[in-house]
Amino acid sequence: MTVVIRNAAPGDEVAILAFIKELAAYEKLAHEVVATEMMLRKSLFGDAPKVFTLIAETGGVPCGFALYFYNYSTFLGQHGLYLEDLYVREDHRGAGIGKALLAQLAQIARENNCGRMEWWVLDWNEPAIAFYKSLDAEAMDDWTVFRLAGDALKDLAAQAAGKS
């Protein structure tokens, strides 16, 4: 089976949204997906996109994707590549597609002088954790992720606008 990794192009938002929904279902988070094809089209292919996607294909059919963007490390003084989502359809797992996507991302990071590549994984996802460790990826167990969203984000932003 030959795997082709390519940059996403307009028209791929249908497949990308399907991948996002499949990933969310696997992660038991399907209820949180509010993205639409139009939103993805604007984010990925609009003016000055800030997020990018690779598509993995076998036989011309999409079977996986990686969605990423750039962040910045003040400690390194360099950009980094942040992998938001990596997903390979279940019937294609174990064929090296996830590794091929990560290898392409590593190449993109090197070409763009990134000091590192990072991503999150749910702590119960043992197959993914084992896979990442097999690539010598380091778990960042000393760090805790925080998030502001919804009303909490709105309320804090209102303080900056003097509306608290």
Distance of alpha carbon 126 from alpha carbon 80, whole angstroms: 25
- Find the distance separating the first CA and the last CA of the chain, reported in whole Å: 58
- Please tell me whether the overall predicted TM-score, pTM, comes out greater than 0.85 for this model: yes
Buried b (16+ CB within 10 A) or exposed e, 148-161: eeeeeeeeeeeeee
> Catalytic: which of 68, 82, 87, 132?
132
Q: What is the pLDDT of residues 108-140, one digit of tens each?
A: 999 999 999 999 999 999 999 999 999 999 999
> Average pLDDT of 23-49?
97
* Token pair in block for residue 20: 């996002």
Distance of alpha carbon 115 from alpha carbon 135, whole angstroms: 17
* Token pair in block for residue 56: 């993995």
* Catalytic residue list contains 132: yes
Q: Give me the domains of the chain, ranges plus CATH numbers.
A: 3-119 (3.40.630.30)
Count other Cβ atoms within 10 Å, centred on residue 45: 15
- 67 forms bridges with which residues in the sheet? 53, 85
